[in-house]
């Protein structure tokens, strides 16, 4: 009997607790509904997408809905605790204004720019000056998407006004016994789980650097967050990004306090060419059926071009690769890009003149990936410590950029020089990456001899454009070789990552690092890697050249090539690690991890073993 009484007492306690928790919602039901539906609009949209979008997951959507429901509950609780009518009215007006403003902002940027409330938006707002703001208003104030936004916002305001006008009716409905049970069953679990998940706010607030925030995103995700939570995340992103750059500045300054020596007695030019979206299997240099690399093949046959056969990029995102390539951090030791100096900074401290001509500095400047890279590479302090001259205008084609450098560079070269070119390569819409009518339209749809069901005329056109952009990339490299052909020069070419051009499925562009499958890795992560040496360089550095030729079949990771550059430049510094330099006899291959979780060689080798068994 006592046992049953205890159970009954416990049950009654639970009912009282539930009633106590739900009381703010019942008493201000109209306010809660408005908060819930407006603040969690993105989350509801994500949940609807779970029915037909492969990338949407119910567990993530429900987790975010619980958090958004808890946020809406806290806002409603605040109103409930305001006992005096004037205070209640002021509180309600402020919250309505802020929540509607957030929703209006979301609709506006989503319709005009296809983005939501997040880090990208707040970064842009932080970097917008008065002149840009004026131009923005002039351009978008009366654009069609903006007019649609105004209409939706007016409709939201009308709904809010109706909800307030019908407040008493909403409260009567909420007090209905059946409705109380329904609301409790529906909302109480969400509020409880949301309260639990709210500890993520605390964890987010303690993130000091982007690596901490990246771990948070990996665990929780941001693509289904309610508006209020998205704002909190955005401010955390801005804070950690600023901390990253500040640490990178300190690291760059520290370089100039370290001892350094250049062993090269003669004049020397080191040229680093950073390509873009180059599918290795589309290079004739690596056996492709179409002759997409005639000049590189000629340089190889002459003995000037050393072709490495097994280089991979650990990511297929330019910003991630670029930051970790320019920095000398060792990712196998969990070092982040802002914890080690950039190789240009080390070169400049060693007395090199450093030049950088960058096709992508002005490319899609409002995208977060461009903003984040530029905030690092072109930070005023870091740039002064790292470069003597930078390109200042955008170009349509890579060849124009190289020609501009050749004709308009104003800083006289020194005895030792480092030149960095960042190409646009075959990046997105390859048909726009080469000039028409200049002899680069070598291939057409008729050149593509593929018979898979999905290979239509349009697909063949795309593949032909990709191959033509690769031909143009080869011509750009020839132009670079020719500038320094008669000088003591070494040129390194390496793209950031690969791409897809309907190579094994009905898809072009990068899929993302979510599938541990060999075909994905071969397209997105296998990259060409070559070193061109002038005749003079070969004569003066015969041992080094011989060691590079002996290393062409070693397994390598692209991010370590920046360490190899130090050796090519004859720089002795604590930042050089011979075990990471693929050209060094001391090189030690390490496990090659892609996307921070997959063992590249394990995945690829398993596929080879399956093929052998068949």
Task: Tell me the per-residue pLDDT of 383-421, one tens digit each, with 9 for 90 and over.
Answer: 999 999 999 888 999 999 999 999 999 999 999 999 999
Give tens-digit pLDDT for 58-108: 888 888 899 899 999 999 999 999 989 899 999 999 999 999 988 888 888
pLDDT at 478: 97
pLDDT at 247: 93
Domain C-terminal end among 175, 209, 242? 242
pLDDT at 176: 92
pLDDT > 60? residue 368: no
514 confidence band (pLDDT: 50, 70, 90): low
Give domain status of residue 258, yes or no: no
364 confidence band (pLDDT: 50, 70, 90): low
More confident residue, 460 or 133: 460
Give domain status of residue 208, yes or no: yes
Closest among 605, 596, 523, 522 to 559, alpha carbons compared: 596
* CA quadruple 42, 43, 49, 54: dihedral sign: positive
135 confidence band (pLDDT: 50, 70, 90): low
230 confidence band (pLDDT: 50, 70, 90): confident
Give tens-digit pLDDT for 300-357: 999 999 999 999 999 888 888 888 999 999 999 989 999 999 999 999 999 999 999 9
d(CA 535, CA 131): 52
Q: Which uninterrupted H or E stretch holds 159?
A: helix 144-165
Same domain as 482, residue 589: yes
pLDDT at 366: 58
Least confident interval from 96-110, 153-167, 510-524: 510-524
Domain C-terminal end among 213, 242, 271? 242
d(CA 224, CA 68): 10
- For residues 346 and 260, the answer to whether their CB atoms sit within 8 Å is yes
Mean pLDDT of 110-116: 73
Mean pLDDT of 596-609: 84
Domain C-terminal end among 190, 207, 242? 242
Give domain status of residue 255, yes or no: no
Distance of CA 555 to the CA centre of its chain: 25
For helices 318-326 and 368-377, the axis angle rounded to 10 degrees is 10
Give domain status of residue 250, yes or no: no
Same domain as 182, residue 297: no
pLDDT at 346: 97
In the chain, the number of structural domains is 2
d(CA 11, CA 22): 16
Same domain as 362, residue 218: no
pLDDT > 80? residue 174: yes
More confident residue, 277 or 111: 277
pLDDT at 272: 97
Q: What is the mean pLDDT of the chain?
A: 89
pLDDT > 90? residue 112: no
- For residues 581 and 358, the answer to whether their CB atoms sit within 8 Å is no
Same domain as 168, residue 19: yes
Mean pLDDT of 567-590: 96
Three-class SS state of 309: strand
Give domain status of residue 253, yes or no: no
pLDDT > 80? residue 137: no
Same domain as 290, residue 230: no
Give domain status of residue 173, yes or no: yes
Give domain status of residue 581, yes or no: yes
Same domain as 518, residue 426: yes
pLDDT at 302: 97
pLDDT at 361: 78
- For residues 121 and 115, the answer to whether their CB atoms sit within 8 Å is yes
Same domain as 199, residue 305: no
Same domain as 271, residue 229: no
pLDDT > 60? residue 128: no
Same domain as 460, residue 566: yes
pLDDT at 214: 82
Q: Vertex 601, ends 282 and 495: CA angle to 5°?
A: 35
234 confidence band (pLDDT: 50, 70, 90): confident
Mean pLDDT of 115-143: 64
Same domain as 559, residue 474: yes
**Residue corresponding to tokens 């400047």:** 365
369 confidence band (pLDDT: 50, 70, 90): low
pLDDT > 60? residue 435: yes
Half-sphere exposure in the Cβ direction for 119 (13 Å, CA) = 20
* Buried-exposed string 422-443: b where 16+ CB fall within 10 A, e elsewhere: bbbbbbbebeebbeeeeebbbb
Query: pTM for the complete prediction?
Result: 0.82
pLDDT at 48: 87
More confident residue, 7 or 469: 469
573 confidence band (pLDDT: 50, 70, 90): very high
- For residues 398 and 251, the answer to whether their CB atoms sit within 8 Å is no
pLDDT at 511: 61
More confident residue, 536 or 225: 536
Mean pLDDT of 173-184: 91
- For residues 230 and 196, the answer to whether their CB atoms sit within 8 Å is no
pLDDT at 50: 83
Same domain as 487, residue 402: yes
pLDDT at 9: 79
Half-sphere exposure in the Cβ direction for 347 (13 Å, CA) = 35
Expressed as residue numbers, the domain containing 514 is 263-613
Same domain as 347, residue 223: no
pLDDT at 51: 82
pLDDT > 80? residue 119: no
Give the CATH number for residue 372: 3.40.720.10
Give domain status of residue 38, yes or no: yes
53 confidence band (pLDDT: 50, 70, 90): confident
pLDDT at 71: 92
3-state helix, strand and coil shares in percent for the chain, rounded to the nearest 5: 60, 10, 30
Query: Which structure tokens are listed for 303?
Result: 């003995």
Phi, psi of 496 (to 5 degrees): -70, -35
pLDDT > 70? residue 124: no
pLDDT > 60? residue 131: no
127 confidence band (pLDDT: 50, 70, 90): low
């Amino acid at each position: 009997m006592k046992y049953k009484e205890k159970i009954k007492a416990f049950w009654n306690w639970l009912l009282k607790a539930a009633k106590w928790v739900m009381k703010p919602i019942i008493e201000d039901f109209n306010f809660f509904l408005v908060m819930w539906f407006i603040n969690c609009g993105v989350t509801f949209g994500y949940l609807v997408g779970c029915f037909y979008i492969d990338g949407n997951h119910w567990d993530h959507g429900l987790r975010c809905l619980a958090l958004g429901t808890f946020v809406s509950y806290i806002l409603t609780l605040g109103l409930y605790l305001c006992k005096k009518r004037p205070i209640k009215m002021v509180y309600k007006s402020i919250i309505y204004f802020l929540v509607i403003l957030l929703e209006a902002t979301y609709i506006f940027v989503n319709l005009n720019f296809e983005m939501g409330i997040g880090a990208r938006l707040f970064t842009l707002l932080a970097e917008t000056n008065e002149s840009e703001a004026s131009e923005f208003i002039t351009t978008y104030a009366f654009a069609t998407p903006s007019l649609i936004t105004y209409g939706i916002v007016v409709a939201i305001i009308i709904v809010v006004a109706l909800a307030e006008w019908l407040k008493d009716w909403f409260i009567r409905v909420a007090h209905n016994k059946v409705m109380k049970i329904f609301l409790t069953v529906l909302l109480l679990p969400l509020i409880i789980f949301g309260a639990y998940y709210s500890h993520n706010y605390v964890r987010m607030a303690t993130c000091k650097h982007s690596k901490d925030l990246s771990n948070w995103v990996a665990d929780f995700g941001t693509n289904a967050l309610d508006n209020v939570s998205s704002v909190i995340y955005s401010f955390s992103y801005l804070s950690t990004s600023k901390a990253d750059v500040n640490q990178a500045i300190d690291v760059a300054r520290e370089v100039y306090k370290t001892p350094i020596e250049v062993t090269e007695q003669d004049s020397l030019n080191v040229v680093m060419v950073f390509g873009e979206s180059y599918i290795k299997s589309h290079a004739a240099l690596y056996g492709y059926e179409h002759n997409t690399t005639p000049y590189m093949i000629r340089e190889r046959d002459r003995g000037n071009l050393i072709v490495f056969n097994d280089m991979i990029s650990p990511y297929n995102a330019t910003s991630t690769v670029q930051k970790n390539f320019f920095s000398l951090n060792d990712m196998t030791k969990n070092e982040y890009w802002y914890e080690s100096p950039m190789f240009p900074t080390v070169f400049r401290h060693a007395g090199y003149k450093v030049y950088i001509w960058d096709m992508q500095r002005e490319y899609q400047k409002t995208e977060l990936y461009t903003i984040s890279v530029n905030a690092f590479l072109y930070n005023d302090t870091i740039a002064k410590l790292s470069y003597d001259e930078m390109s200042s205008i955008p170009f349509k084609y890579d060849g124009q950029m190289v020609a501009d450098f050749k004709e308009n560079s104003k800083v006289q070269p020194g005895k030792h020089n480092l030149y960095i070119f960042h190409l646009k390569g075959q990046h997105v819409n390859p048909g726009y990456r080469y000039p028409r009518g200049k002899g680069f339209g070598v291939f057409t749809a008729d050149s593509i001899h593929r018979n898979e069901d999905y290979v239509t005329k349009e697909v063949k056109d795309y593949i032909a454009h990709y191959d033509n952009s690769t031909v143009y990339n080869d011509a750009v490299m020839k132009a670079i070789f020719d500038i320094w052909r008669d000088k003591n020069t070494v040129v390194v070419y390496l793209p950031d990552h690969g791409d897809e051009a309907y190579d094994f499925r009905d898809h072009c562009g990068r899929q993302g690092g979510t599938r541990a499958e060999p075909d994905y890795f071969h397209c997105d992560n296998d990259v060409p890697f070559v070193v061109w040496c002038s005749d003079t360089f070969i004569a003066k550095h015969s041992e080094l050249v011989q060691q590079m030729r002996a290393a062409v079949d070693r397994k390598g990771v692209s991010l370590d090539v920046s360490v190899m550059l130090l050796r090519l430049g004859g720089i002795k510094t604590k930042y050089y690690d011979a075990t990471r330099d693929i050209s060094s006899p001391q090189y030690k291959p390490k496990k090659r991890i892609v996307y921070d979780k997959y063992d590249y060689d394990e995945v690829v080798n398993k596929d080879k073993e399956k093929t052998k068994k068949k």
